[in-house]
């Protein structure tokens, strides 16, 4: 079974994340969207809220699962028997960062392959950070987050 973990904070999930996951569906038997929980980090949305949104977006996709984990991503991959770690790349700086992490991960756990997928140009400037800024500034994020969660966001 080809199982991939797509790790991230997803605070909140954006159409950029959704694009990467949907384009990866044909490559894997199962993709686990895994929310990394870092106790040092402050999030805008609760883990429950972020999980619920991702579940809503992918409810009609049987090979997509949502979960959360603490600690190193590669340890989580090993724990659940995933051989692939999926990440999205928007820019050269994303690439440099992901390359470093992928090399580190490979030196710790050579059995897990990092798969990097490029975002299309129209999504390359979308990030959860920007979406959070817009939300805090009371702006409209409906162009950047999946339509399934726009309404639920508006009531928060």
Cα 80 off chain centre by: 17
Q: Which of 50, 87, 90, 119 is catalytic?
A: 90
Across the strands, what pairs with 37? 70
Residue 40: cis peptide before it, omega within 30 degrees of 0: no
Least separation in angstroms between residue 43's CB and ligand ADP is 10
In this chain, which of 5, 8, 54, 69 binds ligand ADP, going by CB under 6 A? 8
| Known catalytic residue at 46 | no
Strand partners for 66: 33
Residues 6+ apart with CB under 8 A from 137: none
CA angle (101, 83, 126) in 5-degree steps: 50
**Position of tokens 């979308």?**
126
Specify whether 41 is catalytic: yes
Among 9, 24, 51, 105, binds ligand ADP (CB under 6 A): 9
The whole-angstrom separation of Cα 134 and Cα 2 is 37
90 is catalytic: yes
Q: Which span sits near ligand ADP by CB under 6 A: 2-10, 46-54, 76-84, 105-113?
A: 2-10
Can you tell me which of 17, 54, 57, 112 binds ligand ADP, judged by CB under 6 A?
17
Catalytic residues: 17, 41, 90, 128
Binding-site ranges for ligand ADP (CB under 6 A): 8-10, 14, 16-17, 20, 87-88, 90, 94, 119, 123, 126-128
């Amino acid at each position: 079974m080809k199982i991939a973990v797509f790790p991230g904070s997803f605070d909140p999930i954006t159409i950029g994340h959704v694009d990467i996951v949907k384009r990866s569906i044909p490559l894997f038997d199962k993709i686990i969207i895994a929310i990394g929980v870092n106790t040092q980090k402050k999030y805008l949305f609760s883990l429950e809220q972020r999980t619920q949104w991702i579940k809503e977006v992918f409810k009609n996709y049987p090979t997509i699962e949502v979960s959360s984990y603490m600690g190193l991503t590669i340890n989580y991959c090993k724990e659940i028997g995933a051989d692939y770690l999926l990440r999205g790349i928007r820019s050269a700086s994303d690439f440099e960062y992901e390359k470093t992490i992928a090399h580190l991960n490979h030196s710790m756990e050579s059995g897990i392959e990092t798969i990097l997928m490029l975002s299309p140009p129209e999504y390359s400037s979308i990030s959860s950070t920007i979406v959070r800024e817009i939300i805090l500034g009371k702006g409209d994020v409906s162009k950047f987050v999946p339509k399934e969660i726009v309404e639920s966001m508006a009531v928060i």
